[in-house]
Structure 1
Amino acid sequence: MTDVPRVAVAGVHGHGASHVRNVARLAEAGRARLVAVADPRPAEDLPADVQVYGGLDELLASTEVDVVIISTPIQTHVPLAELSMRAGADVLLEKPPTASLAEFEQLSAVVAETGRACQVGFQAQASTATLTLAKLIADGRLGEIRGISAVGKWVRKAQYFQRARWAGRRTLDGVAVVDGAVTNPLAHSTAAALLLDGSPGADDVRSVETELFRANPIESDDTSTVRIVTGRGTTILIAVTLCAAEHLEPQVIVHGSTGRAVLKYATDTLELHDGSGVTVTTYARDDLLENLLAHRADPAVPLYCPLTATGGFTKVVEAVRVAEAPAEIPAGLVRWEGDGLERHPIVVDVEKWIDRASDELALFSELGAPWTIIQSKRESS
């Protein structure tokens, strides 16, 4: 086992638990070894030989590690990733990688200085469905691209926003967090849309417009439209909510002159609509940690989602960060269901407005969504 990569996980609760399970899966195959975890909260169900630490600094000072998986609050990503890379470890960093463009540039400098690998946890980038669609677009199979839209209609209950101090926050203790529908739970939509356009880098994004709203009693957005124009001239329209009537699978839709494609990245499904009808194919997805380990063994193996490939997404994060605080959706346009931790808002007809935004590549205000009209009247009074 001496030549098997030694892996540590920082943050083992919530999504971090899935990383622990994934390392355990690779350990059974003799391809990795979970040597330690770091979390201020007690960890459970760990193998007896795994060391447990309250913080990553203590872990790295005490344990030799090859790879660190970071699944911690957004505002801790940069300092923990830098700490890991300066200790000689490669990093699998959960999304969003940073809370600002300045942090992105800071972390990029550390990657360049240390020569370590930093893979970002946008799983859809490792999906054959996503990569197949990107090639179809590049090969002109859908004709001239009118635009790309990303649609998210999710339900998030009170317990989601109460799971951690940083949840639903734009800042915490004076530090940028930039949580929100666009930048965190439905971030994969934006990242996938940029990848499909061939515009993942920071210099690939020309402009970003944001319209941020909220129905929940939080700081961050839960119902928003964002319009991106890339250097290629492509319009990417993001229309998302965490206040839908039912939880539906997110979609990235490519609008072409000779065809239309729908990527359902959560299930790696690709629908192609053209003159001959509709073709539906479900593809496989590679594992980001396995890809990082393969890259460590042979640098000629490219990372699916290196930090550099998230610069365009980070420009969207930056636009959300500097935007005005999300406007509250009036109570008359919101219906509440459930009690206690199950309580959640439903924005009336939000699905209809999201579909129109997607089809017309337009912001909520341009469509006349009722919460934008009321907000405009308040601002002008």
Structure 2
Amino acid sequence: METATEAAGSAAAASATTPARVALVGVHGFGTHHLRNLQRLQAAGSVSLVAVADPQPPAPGALPPSAAIYQGLEELLTATRDLDLVIVATPIQTHAPLALAALATDAELYLEKPPVASLADFNRLCTAAARSGHGVQIGFQSLGSHALGAIEELLAAGTIGTLEGISATGRWVRDRAYYTRSRWAGKRSINGVDVVDGVATNPLAHAVATALRIAGARTTADLASVETELYRANDIESDDTSVIRIRTASGLPITCALTICAAESVEPYVTLQGSAGTAVFHYTEDRLTVETAAGRTEETFGRDDLAENLLAHRGHGVPLTSSLADSGAFMLVLEAIRTAPPPAPIDPACVRWEGEGDAAHAVVVGIEEALERAGRQHATFSEIGLPWAVAAPVAFDIPAS
């Protein structure tokens, strides 16, 4: 029986003679990552980038000669036939309509994270995907890490004892320019259209998604509760410093303590708290550290490319690494944030600004220790008694399955 790895290799070999026809929607922002990846795959003979869509023209020389350029997806789909894969890397609020349009074709869909901006849109998209029969891959690239398989093995072996909890810790820096780069940055909504561009739903969404995956929480049925405590140091609508506390259907606590108002950016990490040790996964580096009474080990793993996995799924039925259905648990977290009260402003006396002009960034004083305590104790900022934490955790009413 052919393994997933062998099938992926077979798909790549097959596509070397018949490259998959790919369209990319959104060539700026994270779309530039997809352009680089498609360039690599096209050089290998796996794909042919036949068209792109973006209201802003791509940079000169950014595209291969094979790629036609269109203003929007509708125009692209009208002029382009026999697509195998559509990649959508556009602002969050555009994901739902663009994904639905792509699913009306015969192509597989790669949709950047977060999938959509509301649970209602997620349910509509799931219905459309099931009706189309096409694969939908969500761009949580960290889920392609081979470290996740190693984590499953160490948990099964009892290496760190009984898993008692999981925490996700993220502290990044984002300056004023980050919020002026586009009209949707830092918005909860625009003209009544949901955006939900907060710390846990966009810049550090991978921290949440990775913690959920390690916990075995994939679908909407896998969560028992979600609580949010949202704050902002910047003059924005959305949260930039927050705690999300989750309990899975099996009773496992997951606490995500996240900020983009740190003194310096540090690689985010997910900590597995065991009865006999800990494992720390730095997911951007695919690096796993395990500490027990027997000592400390560290290993760096490889990672599967999600676009290649999607093509192997189309050609050989290989299971998707980050399927739409498996993002259901994440979407419950997003919905809890979307429906929560607006984030509470952090007292300016507890915020210092570093840098000048658009390069200036807010630093919440003492945030590094606060994030560690929140994750370790599975407590919110108000529960650990921070002076600026004037909100209280808000429980989300999880819809019946």
Pick the TM interval, shorter chain.
over 0.9
Is the 1:119–1:288 Cα contact (8 Å) retained in structure 2?
Answer: yes
Report 1:187-202 matches (<5 A): 187-202=205-220
One of 105, 113, 117 as aligned partner of 1:99: 117
| 2:44 aligned partner | 29
* Alignment partners' CA distance in 2, 1:101 and 1:150: 23
Give the whole-Å Cα distance in 1 for the aligned partners of 2:110 and 2:333. Answer: 21
- Structure 1: gaps spanning 5 or more residues: 377-381
- Distance in 1 (CA, whole Å) between partners of 2:385 and 2:173 is 23
State the Cα distance separating 1:30 from its structure 2 match.
0.5
Instruction: Give the C-alpha shift of residue 340 in structure 1.
Output: 1.8
Residue in 2 that maps onto 1:319: 336
Which of 137, 157, 181 pairs up with 1:163?
A: 181
Name the CA distance, whole Å, in 2 between partners of 1:72 and 1:235.
Answer: 33
Map residues 142-161 of structure 1 onto 2, 5 A cutoff.
142-161=160-179
Structural mapping, 1:148-227, within 5 Å = 148-227=166-245
Residue 350 of structure 2 is matched in structure 1 by 333
Matches within 5 A, 1:1-381: 3-44=18-59, 45-64=62-81, 65-299=83-317, 301-373=318-390
State the Cα distance separating 1:261 from its structure 2 match: 0.3
Q: In the superposition, relative to structure 1, how do residues 175 and 374 fare at CA in structure 2: closer, same or farther (>3 Å)?
A: closer
Shift of 1:2: 7.6
Quick one: structure 1 residues 171 and 138, their matched pair in 2 at CA, closer, same or farther if it must change by over 3 Å? farther
Residues in 2 aligned to 1:134 and 1:75: alpha-carbon distance in whole angstroms:
35
For residue 245 of structure 2, give the secondary structure of its aligned residue in structure 1: strand
Which string of whole-angstrom CA distances, capped at 9 and with x for unpartnered residues, describes residues 199-251 of structure 1?
A: 11111011100000000010000000010000010000000000000100001
Q: What is the alpha-carbon distance in structure 2 between the residues aligned to residue 11 and residue 207 of structure 1? A: 35
**Aligned residues: percent identity?**
50
- CA shift, 1:287, in A, is 0.3
Equivalent residue pairs, number: 375
Which consecutive unaligned segments of at least 5 residues does structure 2 have? 1-15, 394-401
CA contact under 8 A between 1:125 and 1:131: conserved in structure 2?
Answer: no
AA matched with 2:55: P
Whole-angstrom distance in 1 between the partners of 2:391 and 2:365: 14
1:228–1:375 distance in 2 versus 1, CA, 3 Å: closer
The one-character-per-residue Cα deviations of 1:260-280 (angstroms, maximum 9, x if unpaired) are: 000000000000011111101
CA contact (8 A) 1:262 1:270 kept: yes
> Given the superposition, is the C-alpha separation of residues 24 and 232 from structure 1 closer, same or farther in structure 2, using an over 3 Å criterion?
same
Indicate the residue corresponding to 2:397 in structure 1.
none
**What secondary structure, in the 3-state scheme, does the structure 1 residue paired with 2:270 have?**
strand
Contact map agreement 2:165 2:274 (CA 8 A) in 1: yes
For the residue of structure 2 that corresponds to 1:98, the secondary structure is coil
In structure 2, how many angstroms separate the alpha carbons of the residues matched to 1:288 and 1:49? 23
Distance 1:49 1:33 in 2: 7
* TM-score, scaled relative to structure 2: 0.91
* Matched AA of 1:193: A
Q: Deviations over 1:141-183 (max 9, x none)?
A: 3222221000001000111111111110000111111111011
**Quick one: distance in 2 between partners of 1:205 and 1:362?**
18
Q: Shift in Å at residue 375 of structure 1?
A: 8.8
Q: Is the 8 A contact 2:48 2:66 kept in 1?
A: no
Structure 1 counterpart of 2:10: none
- Relative distance call for 1:138 and 1:102 in structure 2 (3 A) is farther
Shift of 1:139: 4.1
Q: Residue 17 of structure 2 contacts residue 45 of structure 2 at CA under 8 Å; is this kept in 1?
A: no
Distance in 1 between the 2:387 and 2:221 partners? 35
SS in 1 for 2:279: strand
Please give the alpha-carbon distance, in whole angstroms, between the structure 2 residues aligned to 1:148 and 1:375.
21
| Distance change (3 Å), C-alpha of 1:327 and 1:374 | closer
CA gap 1:374/1:127 in 2 versus in 1, 3 angstroms: closer
Q: CA deviation at 1:138?
A: 4.0
Match of 2:388, SS state, is: helix
